Amino acid sequence: MPAATIIEAQPALPGDAAKPQVVHLTVDAESAGQRLDNYLIRQLKGVPKTHVYRIIRSGEVRVNKGRAAADTRVQTGDAVRVPPVRQAVRTEKPVPAREFAVLFEDDHLLAIDKPAGVAVHGGSGLAFGVIEQLRRARPDARLLELVHRLDRETSGVLLIAKKRSALKHLQEQFRERSTGKTYLALVAGDWPERLKVIDTPLHKYLQGDGERRVRVVDAAHPDAMRAVTLVKVRERRDGCSLLEVTIKTGRTHQIRVHLAAQGHPIAGDDKYGDFDWNRRLQKRGLKRMFLHAWRLQFEHPASGERMQLLSALPADLSWPSPAVTPA
């Protein structure tokens, strides 16, 4: 059994019993390899995720006495200093247990067909997501951890690790870009056959209201992140194109921003899309963004076998009527 996480609180001064104290954590073997933000979210029960990210960005969280970013991978024995934070008493309703359609399952991993409209985890005003519901539905599972993420609006293949060794192996594949992630997207217009590769940097920023957005920037931009998207036309009809989109980098909103920047927004995209077209699509039955995680390729974490999982287009995604093709 790995050593338990060690939590040491600074001694409180007389009269300060109710005040939160500095906490020192020692990363155990079971937690090694996790992102710092995910590690802290699990350790600081009752602390809002927004506050966890705030104390990381401010530099108040220290790993081995140094500043660390949210995506820093903690290792066994790392000393993590956490500033005083108040852990709110949870008053939310209990997480409802829920199982999802299973595409593949064995002792190492679980692949589900995630429906649209369900976040993969709680946070940002959401009390729970897929992973919390699965844990409630499977109370005897020793471990259930997200290997990667999908946007709330996106449906399709989602991988969940059932062993820590599988989680590390699969996440390493995602970091090294050895997985194959292909989506189906319906876009406005006739996608150019010659445009097969989009290699355009992206920049993530916050709007004045705090909402996260992404835009295409020049490579010289100080915060530019390289993003590569491969596009193949599957079908053309009624002034639209159904695309197979494979991402070689996993940037936030990458597909949505890359396609929209080429003048071909995704149908139903409420952030980067054609809003007038979207309204007409809604009247014809398209109630959400037409983006679906269709295929995922990876090596099995135990056997090394190359696997391919497919998720068919769900019933709520279909070609729009010719009456609502883009103007």
- Catalytic residue ranges: 151
**Residue 296 vs residues 162, 172, 182: alpha-carbon distances, Å:** 18, 15, 6
Who's near 148: CB < 8 A, 6+ residues apart?
Answer: 158, 159, 171, 174, 250
**Alpha-carbon distances of 146 from 3, 135, 206, 209, 309, rounded to whole Å:** 23, 11, 25, 29, 16
What spatial distance separates the first Cα and last Cα of the chain, rounded to whole Å? 62
3 state DSSP class of 292: strand
Q: How far apart are CA 234 and CA 183, in angstroms?
A: 11
To which residue do tokens 């002792």 refer?
A: 107
CB 56 within 8 A of CB 36: yes
